Amino acid sequence: MPNEIFVIGTGRCGSTLISNILNHHPDVLSLSEFFTFVTDLGTLIPQAFPAMEINGAQFWQIVSGVYAKQNIMLAHDIAIKEVLYPFKTGARFNASTGVPAILQTTLPHLTTEYDALFDQIHAVIAARGMATAEAHYHALFGWLAAHFGKSIWVERSGGSLRVIERLYQQFPNAKFLHIVRDGRDCALSMQRHNGFKMVLLVFQITEILGIDPYESDDRSWQDDLPDELISFLPESFSGKDFLAYDVPPSLYGHYWSGEIMAGLDVLDLIPAAQQLTLQYESILTDTRNTIEHMIQFVSPDSSANAAWCDAVMSSVKRPTATWQTLDAREQSRLNDACAPGFAALTKRGIRW
Amino acid sequence: MSEKIVITGGTGFVGTHLILELLEQSDAELFCLVRAKNTSAEQRLHQQLVQVIEGSGYAPELINQVKKRCHAIEADLQGDITSLAKSIPSSISQFWHCAASLNYEERFAAEIYDINVEGTRKALALARALNIDCFNYVSTAYVAGRNTGVILESPMAEVQSSNVYESSKVEAEQLIYAQQDMKYRIFRPSIIIGHSRTYHAINFSGMYGFLRRLIQFKGMMARVQRGYLERESIRMNVDPDVPINLVPVDKVAKQAVAIARSDSSNTIFHLTNPMVPTVGEALEVLFSTVGLPPPKIVQDTTQYAWIDEKFNEKIEFYKSYLTGYKQFDRSASNAALGEHTNTTRYAVTANNLNEYCGWYCAQLAQTRSQVPVSR
């Protein structure tokens, strides 16, 4: 059985870098954004982990689902930048057909033959009988690792602290690599990311309508929607209004704090030997030591670690945006918003 | 021969209670202009009235009176209603115009204007065609807009309205003032809440809309950061010591009917409540009902954090009811009511406001679905 690892963190914590560099390790299968898309940007988490046993066809529906939120973003040309599937270039799937969840990023991240791999996986999953979602996920990830001749798989999805409780329940023996980054920079970066904007818009609309408008056509409470949110219902969606809609960094700061506090509560339940927390900033400032430390956690017995470190050192680039570029008022608000998250991390000895 | 009365808005909050009061206090026959929706106009009217009879604790025998004396005439105020004069019996004495749009978002502006202003114009034309004795119009005390101090029961001329709903009601009143040869009365209730004994309500704008915004905002923040609003008070820049004029719907209906049956020659009547809580007291009850600490009242908005700004934006419509001291003069109402001026029965206090809010939250929990926070 392959070693199972999850890279977890808040949105925009720098974990994409981890997926990208691990993708070059000969022993590691890097599964990128798998749970981002099968949970439709984290809004359908319970649906991705059904409590009852399901058959292969039902599991395939979860994995290959054409989900509403991620696909309306493709249709309006505001796809998140992590989408790798070439949906604009005459490929098998496009914005009109919708792109299946596993094809948005995960498979194109692994191979250029992603459509063929998609069909192979379909055949494998469809043949499976009744099992828990946990068993199906283990089988899928194990099959992929074997298919690519890897002994370790590492799944990483942006903002996956939100799903950590489910992951730990389903994969109790997995190791968890927790990447933390200054919440103020995460917030600023989330503000510039269409996926997190979409999530916050859906949060607001869902609370007003009492339903997820992308999953239900019940509009009984639509009169309560303020004018500014009407453009984000699926039936009246406007990409232009989406781009113009401004959410200040401080809301993302609150979101970051919330995710950190809830995530740390779960991490506290996970044995110390199964988790490692790394600060993203250390990867930037003390690159060699930090990635060595990380690969020892991920793949302690691999003889390829040293060569891999040499090879990926130059991939580590410093991001351009920092929260200090905000004006004094927004900096102050962002500090306040992130304070609960920082306080929770400080208790674990993590400081900035 | 019994009196004949025409009513618009008979399935609405005030309209239903007004009909029940008229059924209780007179032997009048009522002709209600009602839209047909999924059911016929008559079925819709009767169902709504039965719901209010049962929910608000009216005598059950009123159901028979509804069936016997309440007749629905299918009509839509956004269409042509003047031609209905042919299908309404002659010798109508009173016309009650209660129909209104209570929306306020800008996207509803045309509809609000159409129903509240053009609808009133059409109702007046129909009333004239029916040659009625008196046109009774249910307006709002908040035609006073941003005026403060003593608000008289007098025509509203130059006024700065707080929103499109208020300005539509001002304009509708002005259409009525212009009637030269038709007797009219204008009733101006304040913020209408549920029945004074059962707390039952069928319209959930006004205070209920505020409560819903609060619940929605709390829910949204729970998705962002669990427990945040339970720990941190929202800041609000309101006037905590001014009264917030909440009036039970049964008081509005009872007093409107009593005034209409009086010999008062006045034309404008405040159906407001002299015994109400302050804004600070009311907010404390509302916040506590949804499980939040009371808001922190601040002197200016520069003290707002982003969360405060966002919350205050979401309840902007309600801000005009939370700021500025308004004392609604009731001289004309009290004079017309005489011995019927019973204020204590309808007092709204912090204690019973809690019951009104609790009733609504229980209703919401039964009728509104909720999506659990996805984790």
Q: Where are the domains of chain B?
A: 4-195+245-271, 206-244+276-324+347-367
CB within 8 Å: B224 and A218: no
C-alpha to C-alpha distance for A37 and A124, rounded to whole angstroms:
20
CB within 8 Å: B372 and A162: no
Using DSSP bridges, classify how beta strands A3-8 and B70-74 pair: parallel, antiparallel or unpaired: unpaired
Identify the residue among B38, B230, B310, B374 best suited for mutation to test binding to A, counting A beta carbons within 10 A and taking the highest.
B374
CATH 3.40.50 fits domain A3-186+249-323: yes
Using alpha carbons, list the distances in angstroms from residue A130 to A58, A133, A167, B178, B240.
Answer: 9, 9, 20, 76, 61
User: How many Cβ atoms are within 10 Å of A212's Cβ, its own excluded?
Assistant: 19
Kindly report, residue by residue over A85-144, the tens digit of the pLDDT. Answer: 999 999 999 999 999 999 999 999 999 999 999 999 999 999 999 999 999 999 999 999
Q: Taking chain B, what is the end-to-end CA distance rounded to the nearest angstrom? A: 68
CB within 8 Å: B224 and A200: yes
CB within 8 Å: B368 and A221: yes
C-alpha to C-alpha distance for B118 and B112, rounded to whole angstroms:
9
Q: Taking chain A, what is the end-to-end CA distance rounded to the nearest angstrom? A: 38
Chain A residue with Cα closest to B316: A226
| B4-195+245-271 CATH pick, 1.10.1270.20, 3.40.50.720, 3.90.1570.10, 3.40.50.920 | 3.40.50.720
C-alpha to C-alpha distance for B243 and B246, rounded to whole angstroms:
9
C-alpha to C-alpha distance for B142 and B192, rounded to whole angstroms:
12
Residues of chain B neighbouring A224 (CB-CB closer than 8 A) = 209, 212-213, 216
pLDDT tens for each residue of chain B, 375 residues long: 789 999 999 999 999 999 999 999 999 999 999 999 889 999 999 999 999 999 999 999 999 999 999 999 999 999 999 889 888 998 999 999 999 998 878 889 999 999 999 999 999 999 999 999 999 999 999 999 999 999 999 999 889 999 999 999 999 999 999 998 899 999 999 999 999 999 999 999 999 999 999 999 999 999 999 899 999 999 999 999 999 999 999 999 999 999 999 999 999 999 999 999 999 999 999 999 999 999 999 999 998 988 999 899 989 889 889 999 999 999 999 999 997 677 688 999 999 999 999 999 999 999 988 898 878
CB within 8 Å: B306 and A248: yes
If you ran DSSP here, which 8-state letter would residue B242 be given? S
User: Where in chain A are the domains?
Assistant: 3-186+249-323
Evaluated on CA atoms B329, B272, B277, B221, the torsion sign reads negative
Residues of chain A neighbouring B226 (CB-CB closer than 8 A) = 258, 261-262
CA-based nearest residue to B33, from B108, B107, B99: B99
CA-based nearest residue to A321, from A188, A181, A191: A188
Residues A222, B335 contacting (CB under 8 angstroms) = no
CB within 8 Å: B225 and A258: yes
User: How many Cβ atoms are within 10 Å of A134's Cβ, its own excluded?
Assistant: 14
Using alpha carbons, list the distances in angstroms from residue A237 to A82, A104, A194.
Answer: 21, 21, 14
Residues A78, A109 contacting (CB under 8 angstroms) = no
Residues of chain A neighbouring B306 (CB-CB closer than 8 A) = 248, 250-251, 333, 337
DSSP, collapsed to helix, strand or coil, labels residue A297 as: helix
Tokens of A19: 């997926």
Residues B62, B53 contacting (CB under 8 angstroms) = yes
C-alpha to C-alpha distance for A350 and A95, rounded to whole angstroms:
42
Counting Cβ atoms within 10 Å, is residue A102 exposed (0-12), middle (13-18) or buried (19+)? buried
B31 beta partners:
B6, B71
The label of the residue with tokens 């929605």 reads: B216
